[in-house]
Structure 1
Amino acid sequence: MANIKEVAALAGVSTTTVSHVINETRFVAEETRERVFAAMRDLNYAPSLVARSLKVKETNSIGMLVTTSSNPFFAEVVRGVERYCFEQGYNLMLGNTEGQAETALSYLKMMLRKRVDGLLIMCSEGQQEVFNQLDWLKNLPVVVMDWGMESKDVDLIADNSHRGGYLATRHLIELGHTDIGCITGPHSRAPANQRQAGFEQALQEAGLTVNQEWIQEGDFDCASGFSAMQRLLAQPKRPSALFIFNDMMAMGAISAAHQAGLNIPQDISIVGYDNVALAQYLSPPLTTINQPKEELGRLAVTRLLARINGVRVDNHLITVDPDLVIRQSCAPFPAP
């Protein structure tokens, strides 16, 4: 494989000039640049990206820590992030932490060794250990997506979960339901609490009682949605409608209802949250709150690139508004 000295000899210039042409670190006359590029082509020379990154202190790569890529919501956001990174000329280095702080730190150290230009952290709540490392991240630009702590050292891009919870519950109320329950996410996570606050606000505005027995906690996965629905169905009186705090739990809840011999929406109406691609193919297709996943990814990458390029920003918290997608998993009460 050719080296930089052979390129310089063939082009009739110094190795320093070849380096300046490759790294664009100093003006080089166009005629000289053309000779260097011609020599590189003739010798099939490919400059070392690692060496270039050490000189210009940029690798055109971004690291991303995500808590789990098995959830369709995260996979769809990651796809949007990757697409926008590619459009901007950046590579994405992905680390799936599975919610484990030790794994997150291992990936973080690896990404720092690879000299990523910036870092995206998605679903970081509960991983305080990661944020404790910000002292030794020094000047690495960081943007947190979806969940996480607010800090002057990072930007936070999040969906307006309170509004989403309110919209879901208002939809059920407008369909005539008064006995409305919910399956929440873990109360240790801010979006779960915000969605519940929106749920309760909508009930209170309508003069309806919040029945604590009809509020069951899940863990944002199918299995916990299945178990929570079983607990609700075991009660002497069940709600006529449910707001479920993500589509994965809604899938589990629908399965539990079907196994109990119930029909949706005739026996119980359900609204999910996230609008993952699979939601439209459930039976029945799921009414859900749409998180603008493409916008979430685009905003995160845009803000991170601004930080990488030294653009000053005063607002460190950006929220994106969700909207309601109506399908066939809800019916007016009483059901026809």
Structure 2
Amino acid sequence: MATIKDVAAQAGVSISTVSHVLNRTRKVSASARARVEQAVQELNYAPNSVARSLKVNNTRTIGMLVTTSVHPFFAEVVQAVEDLCFELGYSLILCNTENQPERQLMHLRMLLEKRVDGLLVICTDTPPSLTELLQQQPKLPLVMLDWSRDNHFADIIHDNADIGGYLAGKYLLEQGHRDFACITGHLHKGTSRLRLDGFTRALAEAGLRLPPEHIIEGDFESESGYQAMQQLLRQQARASAVFAFCDTMAFGAICAITQAGLRVPQDISVIGYDDVNMARFTSPPLTTISHPKRTLGRWALELLLKRIKEKDHQPEQLELKPRLVVRESVCPPGSRD
């Protein structure tokens, strides 16, 4: 098996130059870099990452706890993090928690054993047991996504979900709607409460209220959007516009409306949240609130790397601004064209 000395000898450079090329720790001339890379390829050299991490006290590995990488929203955030990790020469260990406390704790302990350089957490449920364990790791660089503003031990990125809910309500009002329904996520979660608060605030400014029976709790999955919409369709007083708290639930709602022999948006308008990639390709294309997922992922990793490098780094809070994306799933009530 080839060693770093073999690579240096074949490339005609010092061992330290080979190290700088492999670890991207110092600028190396283009010709020297090319010789090193060619020698690495010809010798099939694979650095001993364990030995390296013991020597320099870092692994160039990032851990990430995520609810589920299958859901379109989380998948796009993860892709942004992974792309930037690749650009910067870091490895990413991705752990799906499925919002199960025992899995969260098991994965966190595993990541600590792997001696990751830092940790990203994007879990929609964060039980006290996980928070307590994170607080017990004061030396572990940590960035939380969309967590409470009362969190003082980690860097936080907020999505301003109340603003997103307000934008959805204002747009539906501008289109002439006066009868609304919401398919929410779990209402014990802060993000769901904030989106609902923003939406109802927009209605209150217009002198309107959201009937309690028109607030149906979902779970951010398409099946719950489908079931919730069926429940709304059975009600005697039918809403002319539905705000689904994520695009996947909006997809389920549109399916239920179509199966009932109704049309979107002519009979019922639907607005979603997140602006996942597939929102452009539904029938009709989905009007939604854009949650900048790639920005969210890249900001999170950039903030984490800053925290890793700056040992005296003070926790920061960054703000993302949602925006309205108008497509074809909303129109004024009563439109028949």
RMSD of aligned C-alpha atoms?
3.0
TM-superposition CA deviations, 1:219-254 (whole Å, max 9, x none): 111111111111111111111111110001111111
C-alpha distance 267-46 of structure 1, shift in aligned 2 (>3 A): closer
User: Counterpart of 1:288?
Assistant: 288
Q: Counterparts of 1:214 and 1:157 in 2: how far apart (Å)?
A: 31
Q: Counterparts of 2:216 and 2:4 in 1: how far apart (Å)?
A: 65
C-alpha distance 135-23 of structure 1, shift in aligned 2 (>3 A): farther
Q: Counterparts of 1:141 and 1:232 in 2: how far apart (Å)?
A: 45
Which 5+ residue runs of structure 2 have no aligned equivalent?
Answer: 21-31
Give the alignment's TM-score, normalised by structure 1: 0.87
The CA deviation at 1:260 is 1.3
C-alpha distance 196-7 of structure 1, shift in aligned 2 (>3 A): closer
User: Counterpart of 1:81?
Assistant: 81
User: Counterpart of 1:144?
Assistant: 144
C-alpha distance 261-138 of structure 1, shift in aligned 2 (>3 A): same
Answer whether contact 1:247 1:276 (CA < 8 A) is retained.
yes
Answer whether contact 1:169 1:203 (CA < 8 A) is retained.
yes
Match of 1:262, as an amino acid? L
Answer whether contact 1:99 1:127 (CA < 8 A) is retained.
no
3-state SS of the aligned residue for 2:182?
strand
Answer whether contact 2:152 2:315 (CA < 8 A) is retained.
no
Give the alignment's TM-score, normalised by structure 2: 0.87
User: Counterpart of 1:298?
Assistant: 298
3-state SS of the aligned residue for 1:133?
helix
The structure having more radius of gyration, on CA atoms, is 1
The CA deviation at 1:7 is 8.4
Match of 1:90, as an amino acid? Y
C-alpha distance 193-267 of structure 1, shift in aligned 2 (>3 A): same
C-alpha distance 148-248 of structure 1, shift in aligned 2 (>3 A): farther
Q: Counterparts of 1:94 and 1:143 in 2: how far apart (Å)?
A: 15
Answer whether contact 1:225 1:252 (CA < 8 A) is retained.
yes
3-state SS of the aligned residue for 2:296?
helix
The CA deviation at 1:152 is 2.0
C-alpha distance 269-8 of structure 1, shift in aligned 2 (>3 A): closer
The CA deviation at 1:160 is 1.0
C-alpha distance 208-56 of structure 1, shift in aligned 2 (>3 A): same
3-state SS of the aligned residue for 1:126?
coil
Which 5+ residue runs of structure 1 have no aligned equivalent?
Answer: 12-16, 25-32
Q: Counterparts of 2:85 and 2:4 in 1: how far apart (Å)?
A: 30
User: Counterpart of 1:183?
Assistant: 183
The CA deviation at 1:124 is 4.5
Moved more, 152-161 or 198-207: 152-161
C-alpha distance 134-265 of structure 1, shift in aligned 2 (>3 A): same
C-alpha distance 22-240 of structure 1, shift in aligned 2 (>3 A): same
User: Counterpart of 1:71?
Assistant: 71
What is the identity percentage for the equivalent residue pairs of Structure 1 and Structure 2?
50
User: Counterpart of 1:52?
Assistant: 52
Q: Counterparts of 2:259 and 2:80 in 1: how far apart (Å)?
A: 36
C-alpha distance 174-312 of structure 1, shift in aligned 2 (>3 A): farther
Match of 1:138, as an amino acid? P
In the alignment, is residue 201 of structure 1 matched against residue 201 of structure 2? yes
Match of 2:96, as an amino acid? N
The CA deviation at 1:320 is 0.1
Q: Counterparts of 1:213 and 1:136 in 2: how far apart (Å)?
A: 43
C-alpha distance 264-313 of structure 1, shift in aligned 2 (>3 A): same
Q: Counterparts of 2:275 and 2:153 in 1: how far apart (Å)?
A: 31
Q: Counterparts of 2:9 and 2:270 in 1: how far apart (Å)?
A: 72
